[in-house]
Amino acid sequence: MNLSQAKNNTTPIVLSYAGLDPSGGAGVFADIKTFTMLDVWGMGVATVLTSQDHKNFGGIVAVDKDFLEKQLEQIFSGRKVSGVKIGLINKTYQAELIYFFIKKYAPELVVLDPVAFSSSGEVFWEKEVKDSVIKYLLPVCDVVTPNLKEARMILNMQEAGKRELAIGINREFRCKVVVTGGDVPNAGHILDVFYDGVRFEERKADFIDIEPNVKHGTGCVFSSAVCAYMTRGMDFMEACSLASLFVEKTIKHHVVFGEKDGALNHNFRGLWI
């Protein structure tokens, strides 16, 4: 499928509402690169500015509430936004604002990547932030894509497995759920679990044994790929399977900057449809 074959014969517009990672590996930049590769028009509003790279986290500054609201009004009122991908939230007003604009402008698809932690271990969700995500964002999401640790945090079920967590999130918030397996590479493979409220599907991928910092941003890429594929008209299960494959290939064909240094290759063009 290409842009001319997208539903309604128009180019889908997708908004990333996420943090800004100046290294380009995660957040808004990673989302925009993924959107571009998958033939949707990407726009971005940064919730926070960060000082980080793929190895270290140096700090975070939230975007001013009033300016954040101006950006969102400009984006939503200017063109029809087909899909919204939500990433890093670290202030309650960020969750409240995006909730307001989702209710006001009703995009066709909302995908939440609940970024509670950075890959380097930085904690983004204090209790009030977690509570605001649960109160405002999860109830308006169509799809939520936590990893195992984040799913357990949402439901306060620290010993639960992926299927149990997917069922629990679906029952509580009435959304489709993906619990990704990148954080638990068991038996040489990674398992992603997809649940639409009726049935499960799974996808196994080979565990690619490279430096962990090179895999910086995989959660962002997965959720933005799901959002892109679904706004192009694919169903949930197909979009999840292709998004999982997309992430696998960005890892397998990673770019190299130096010894033990590199990044996901969003621009690899060997397989995308």
CATH code of the domain containing 86:
3.40.1190.20
Given this model, what pLDDT does residue 199 score? 97
When pLDDT is cut at 50, 70 and 90, the band that residue 270 belongs to is low
Residues 6+ apart with CB under 8 A from 27: 16, 18, 19, 20, 21, 46, 50, 87, 88, 217, 220
Q: What distance in Å separates the CA atoms of residue 57 and residue 237, rounded to the nearest whole number?
A: 34
Alpha-carbon span 186 to 256, nearest angstrom? 26
Q: Residue 9 in 3-state DSSP? A: helix
Q: What's the chain's average pLDDT?
A: 90
Query: Is position 161 within any domain?
Result: yes
Q: What's the domain count of the chain?
A: 1
Cα dist. 59→69, 96, 116, 122, 182 in Å?
23, 23, 15, 9, 25
Cα separation, 91 vs 17, in Å, equals 13
Residue 72 is assigned to a structural domain of this protein: yes
Domain span at residue 158 reads: 11-263
Residue 269 lies in a domain: no
Q: Count CB neighbours of 163 within 10 A.
A: 14
Residue 206 has pLDDT above 90, yes or no: no
Lowest mean pLDDT among 33-42, 64-73, 105-114, 253-262: 253-262
- What DSSP string describes 168-179? HHHHHH--EEEE
Q: CA-to-CA distance for 40 and 237, rounded, in angstroms?
A: 19
Contacts of 128 (CB under 8 A, 6+ apart): 92
pLDDT > 90? residue 140? yes
Residue 135 resides in a domain: yes
Rounded-to-integer distance, Cα 81 and Cα 92, Å: 23
Domain annotation covers residue 182: yes
Q: What is the pLDDT of residue 273?
A: 45
Q: Does residue 206 lie within any of the structural domains?
A: yes
Average pLDDT over residues 239-264: 91
Q: Has residue 101 got a pLDDT over 60?
A: yes
Quick one: which of 242, 248, 240 has its CA closest to 272? 242
Residue 1 lies in a domain: no
| pLDDT in the model for residue 202 | 95
For range 171-191, the mean pLDDT: 82
Q: Is residue 76 part of a domain?
A: yes
Mean pLDDT of 114-133: 85
Grade residue 120 by pLDDT with cuts at 50, 70 and 90. Answer: low
Which of 99-108, 181-190, 211-220 has the highest mean predicted lDDT (pLDDT)?
A: 99-108
